[in-house]
Amino acid sequence: MAQTKTLQRQIAELALSRKAKDVVIMDLRKVTTMADYFVVCTGESETQVRAIADAVMEGMSKAGERPWHSEGLQNLQWVLLDYVDVVVHVFHKDARAFYGLEKLWGDAKIQKVADRKPRGVTTASKDGVARRDRKQTEV
């Protein structure tokens, strides 16, 4: 298995590749022994929740990692992908607010993760017109 710190960062990047919102990495090492990290993110719709979960599973599979266990792929409100040391939680926006995972594990150190695309990068839109992306990034 890949190093846990590398694994949790790869998973976060894969979620961001499908425009996941509010991506956080929760460091649970001082809180519990059930997992080292949670990667938690939000999808705006069931379709996006599925796309995020699929991106994580496909990307990790290419890296030689397969989830030990998965849940929620049928109803797409809360998808859990268990990579043993890193557990991924992909929430539908309404479900994330309802379950309050960050509050439940409030003793964990929480790191927000944002897309690493630099501010002001010019990107081409679907119509081929160059546009400036003015979103700020966090690391």
pLDDT at 79: 98
Quick check: is 92 in a domain?
A: yes
Quick check: is 138 in a domain?
A: no
Quick check: is 139 in a domain?
A: no
Quick check: is 120 in a domain?
A: yes
- State how many domains the chain has: 1
Closest among 56, 43, 53 to 10, alpha carbons compared: 56
pLDDT at 133: 46
Distances (CA, A) of 127 to 91, 130, 131, 133: 31, 9, 11, 16
- Helices 4-16 & 46-62, crossing angle to 10 degrees? 140
Quick check: is 76 in a domain?
A: yes
HEC profile of 84-107: CCEEEEEEEHHHHHHHCHHHHCCC
Domain of 78, in residue numbers? 4-132
* Percentage of the chain modeled with pLDDT above 90: 66
Contact between 123 and 133 under an 8 Å Cβ cutoff? The reply is yes
| Tens-digit pLDDT profile for residues 28-84 | 999 999 899 999 999 999 999 999 999 999 999 999 999 999 999 999 999 999 999
CATH number for 117: 3.30.460.10
Q: What is the pTM of this model?
A: 0.80
pLDDT at 124 over 90: no
Quick check: is 117 in a domain?
A: yes
Rg of the Cα atoms in the chain: 15
Report the C-alpha gap between 76 and 47 in whole angstroms: 8
Average pLDDT value over all residues in the chain: 85
Contact between 66 and 84 under an 8 Å Cβ cutoff? The reply is no
Q: Per DSSP, what are the bridge partners of residue 37?
A: 27, 86
Report the C-alpha gap between 72 and 50 in whole angstroms: 10
pLDDT at 103 over 90: no
* Percentage of the chain modeled with pLDDT above 70: 81
pLDDT at 132: 47
